[in-house]
Structure 1
Amino acid sequence: MAYRVVVVGATGNVGREVLNILAERKFPIADIAAVASARSTGDIIDFGDTGRELKVKNIEHFDFAGWDIALFAAGSGPAKDYAPKAAAAGCTVIDNSSLYRYDADVPLIVPEVNPEAIDGYTQRNIIANPNCSTAQMVVALKPLHDAAGIKRVVVSTYQSVSGAGKEGMDELFEQTRAVFVNDEKTIKKFTKQIAFNVIPHIDVFLGSDSDYDGYTKEEWKMAAETMKILDPEILVTATCVRVPVFVGHSEAINIELERPLSVAEAQRILRDAPGVMLIDKRENGGYVTPIECVGDYATFVSRVRKDPTVENGLVLWCVSDNLRKGAALNAVQIAELLVSRHLKKAA
């Protein structure tokens, strides 16, 4: 059976990647619509490498009735305005924004981690896609949690500028060029110069009325989403840093386990885990860096080692293409899961 699919925000980085991945994975499509804001209406974009071109439709006038799945990659504003309308019209929404992630009636899904949670989608006919940094982390944590129980996670992220959209990528490019030609370095998207620098600030700072006073919202998201997706008892503290990398998020993750787990056993578990690619050689270049993960589906894990500062501690390095597993790929995987668990049965 094939399905009628809408991609909302189709002209953005994530929307275009959604179209690419739908084509790559040969998602069963009967019809597809590319939808975006008024300023992109009428633009022509490619449907992956299928040779098919799509004319962008205006979301303000788009009728979701008769469509099966809408993959939203347009931010919280359009998700607030149009996702409920799509859902009410019978079109199941898979939303990449943060708007619905913490709603108790909306499942937050990483298919390798909590596929069974998708069964609750009928409450709102909306499914949430997690934050990019959370998605890759929980893929790596899940098999270790199943094996030895995770008590606490301390994570430091090194997040690429593509996580801030096209504007972030443009700013890194323009500032880098300015450094070499001795031009003025303009700061628009980020709070400080990103070229040849790192910025320990992603999203807004939280206030004193929160348990996460002094943390940024991105850091809070990693804790809240990990607890919703993986286990509400896991304690998470994060420091999220923007780095001058175009695509690919990296994470240094310290894990405190309930039970002992040797490094060799952890490596074996990770090697066999769905969605994980273990590349862990203790030699020069025996690990994965962001530039090597671009365009790949996997969450790469390297540098697995013992943390001698806590009982039952492990440390690992985790890298993934944030536009893919952190956003577009995970959304398409959710669509595939929805089809296999529900839509095929309903047909």
Structure 2
Amino acid sequence: MLQGISVVYLFPSMQVFQVIALLFSFLGFPRLWVYIKNSKILTSAFILYVIYVFFGVVSLFFSPYGKVLAGLVQVLANFKIYFMLAAFLYLFKFVSPSKLLSNIQLPYILISIVFLFVQWVFPSAYILITGYYKVPVELTGYIKYPGMSIFNHPSVFAAVSVFMALYNYSRWCSGEGRRTFFLFIFNVFLLISSNQRQEIFCFIISIYLLTLYKTPVNLRARSAVLGLFFILSLVGVFVVLFFDSFIREFYLWGGGMHASNIPRYLHYSGALEFAERFFPLGTGFGTWGGLGSLQYNLDAYYSLGMNKHWWWSTREAYIFDAFLPNILAETGWFGSLIFLANYFLIIFFLS
């Protein structure tokens, strides 16, 4: 089922796919409701989500920063996991997720390589074709121009390539032939071309765990030890390649002497402040770090003087920078735990 959701939202940067996925979501809601009623896990997850919404709505009316329109927008934004489930349930009534994933492997690789070539060799043409306003430049890592392919950010390209690589590696370990191994190698190349440290690190750990899972039980202990040495070697190479990036991130997360002027640090520290000041409910939906606050309600940011910082004119790039500050500030500690429990139950249901 995880395969299915990944296919439905495989191209999140392209609006036409977003519209199609949203249409599938609406068509799939009746079927989703049947699943919710018949599955104890999904029923529990949905009940937790309703409690979470109750927390956010109640806190919205008690908060000095609450605005109804911003709150409604944020409720819909937080409902996206159920939109994804509904779209999956509708689409894959008609086609097998595994068959569809197998059929798109080669086209995905070929299209990605073509777009990478254009991006690196003819960046002006790439911008003209894709409509993106610039090609990213990375001052740290091993590639100056992180690959984006058909996506609007290297991290999206990396995430899709990780999924494709793991999917083919799993098929190869199950004995599906050399073709899946070569598809795996090409997807690893695409991942490396993105120059994204988080996705590459997760890929290294996932490969290790997947290998153990596919290894016969009587050989797992030996494989675990031998594989650990190999993984530690890869992690060592990873640290060397991204060392400058780690130093940069240290300062972006508030390390050093100038934390009070760093957007990411302010985002988290503000969320913690509101979670404590408005304990246990938080500031309410549409007040901090989400779509609702960005579009319709910046009062909480003004109250902390965020508009006086150098990054405020480009705040769109920072307000969405992290997810946890959003739920922590808006629904407090209890609401955050309830929302995360809802997500874990959904993942457990899909697995």
TM-score range, shorter-chain basis? under 0.3
Of structures 1 and 2, the one with the larger relative CO (CA 8 A, separation 6+) is: 2
The TM-score, its normalising length taken from structure 1, stands at: 0.24
Higher strand share: 1
Q: Give the TM-score taking structure 2 as reference length.
A: 0.23
Which one has the largest radius of gyration? 2
